Chains A and B, each alone.
Chain A
């Protein structure tokens, strides 16, 4: 017993002595970045497109053009299958073994949240995660990626109430952080216009049968029904509505849901659906940045179709490149954060001009789309979210 007690004392003393100093992942010739993402599991397609065909696509262009101030960018990815504990292990490995400079474009709220505290503690930048929960807001080493959910909700309500003069709203939302962040924000923004959410029905994550909820929503007869779901459940909701012939409501999809996969799954049931789009159409947009993206895709990955996931990763890599260039030859993590914070009206040619302040929010906008003949048709210019 005394031996055990002695070990315990030693253990406690050793525990107090603190971690080793972390290296920065920058050499004369190279910058190493990485992330843990979904390459298996429910979001595997999104994860692979955003990283291997998005982030890497832009870095191929950069590297072939001589790199960032002479340094080539190398990326390392590990698969977490959307499991937070795997994301923790992978991120530790990236930081402590692979000694990456920063984490770029990881995906999903639970895996990102699971690693956030650790990255903050170790002062490793967490750049542009593919998730929109406002939990990432107000952190020293975190820069948000997609437009945060509360901003999306504000744009949607302000547009529908202000410009379209609609007054009654219902919502079908996924019963987790994603769905609830939207619902809370919808309710707050409706209250600002002295309106209320008439009816809100929840769907468990991974459940695609929404017939009971759709029936209840129809009974309440809202003018607008928000869908805050994943593509399979969202498509199912549209099909269910078509089946019961419910036509006197406008179905509106949240930003993360407004994508091509959701359209494809819903087929002709998607006709007339509206939503908030966070990215210009990757296949048809004439914006110079999107054209350059498509050209790069044809050059480096001719077999891979352009889509908004690879486009989002491509934008993340563009933003990093811009920040690292501004941080200068003596690239440090602090320098990168300061450089990104100083970005004012920077034009990617894809999104409206970006200004990142001390709040570390990158994307802040979206525009309204409506499905016509199986494609998203743009109805408005970029909406304000202030």
Chain B
């Protein structure tokens, strides 16, 4: 396990030297999506909204407070998104299943509409150019520079997610996922931990949004539509819900597939839909459990 991690770390660090330039950019997108997928712990069709809050927060902070180091900007982007996530999540605690999914769907639309209306701040439909991120005296203006920023942040957040699973909170969340009633019966405060889960998920997505803003360099409300939210759901279903390696694998599959389909956007929902159905029918636990099953054989 340790050896594999070192190898993975070395590959991540060496990637810009091994791969052509475009794949460095693509790898940044994979890692950003992986952060969202790791944070996505329930069925939500509104995570594009959270990503948008993080992205716009980071962009506006960089424009209006250029002296802030990028790490502070990202933490603030994540924190604001978490606050919005909690404000939205608490009233949604009473909802579950389909109704929760519908509430998240509505949330995504509300955020897109809000971004359009906050025109003096967001420039509405015209979009917003994001200046390069700064760390100390260094401006991260190249694909490689941005990639390393994304890689370091993604590694930290992934490590935090893996470690969280070993804490009291992590065990409580796991228990709730397996069975809410059983968890409650064993003394886990379901409402409290669900709220924490919402906040954490929003935080991860907000940080990813900040990274997205820097990597893409231009934001407009059109970017954060419901199809993006669906992409995130496809990632965790393809990868395997609640598994960190699965989330990363799912993010990689979906991002690379999306890129490969650049000439056929109109068929994208169809292809992703088929992928989703096939995964649910033949690989209900996602890539993670499929790999595990193969290893056992």
Contact = CB atoms under 8 A, between A and B. Distances in A.
Q: Mostly helix, strand, loop or mixed at chain B's interface? A: helix
B278 interface: no
B149 interface: yes
B21 A96 contact: yes
Nearest to B119: A175
A176 B259 contact: no
A45 interface: no
B20 A97 contact: yes
A91 to B, nearest CB: 11
B184 interface: no
A19 B263 contact: no
Contacts of B16: 14
Nearest to A77: B263
A93 interface: yes
A29 interface: no
B126 A176 contact: yes
Contact of A79 (B216, B218, B222, B262): B262
A20 B262 contact: no
A41 B259 CA distance: 18
B145 interface: yes
B124 interface: yes
B152 A15 contact: no
A347 B214 CA distance: 44
A110 B127 contact: yes
B98 to A, nearest CB: 28
A311 interface: no
B242 to A, nearest CB: 26
A346 interface: no
B222 A17 contact: no
A359 interface: no
Interface residues of B, number: 42
Contact of B126 (A12, A85, A110): A110
A88 B264 contact: no
A93 B22 contact: yes
A382 interface: no
A36 to B, nearest CB: 8
Contacts of B266: 39-40, 44, 79
B22 A97 contact: yes
B240 to A, nearest CB: 26
A113 B127 contact: yes
Contacts of A7: 13, 152
Given A7-B152, A84-B222, A89 B25 contact: yes
A108 to B, nearest CB: 10
A175 B124 CA distance: 9
B231 interface: no
Nearest to B223: A85
B13 A79 contact: no
B262 A18 contact: no
Given A7-B152, A176-B126, A177-B126, A114 B217 contact: yes
Closest 4 A/B residue pairs (Cβ) = A15-B145, A11-B148, A114-B218, A96-B22
11 contacts: A11-B152, A12-B145, A78-B262, A79-B263, A79-B264, A84-B223, A85-B223, A88-B217, A88-B218, A117-B217, A175-B119
Interface of B: 13, 16, 20-22, 25, 29, 116, 119, 124-127, 129, 135, 138, 140, 142-146, 148-149, 151-152, 156, 212, 216-220, 222-223, 225, 259, 262-266
Given A83-B225, A117-B129, 8 more contacts: A4-B156, A12-B148, A39-B263, A84-B219, A85-B212, A89-B25, A110-B127, A118-B217
Interface of A: 4, 7-8, 10-12, 14-20, 39-41, 44, 77-86, 88-90, 92-93, 96-97, 109-110, 113-114, 117-118, 175-177, 204-205
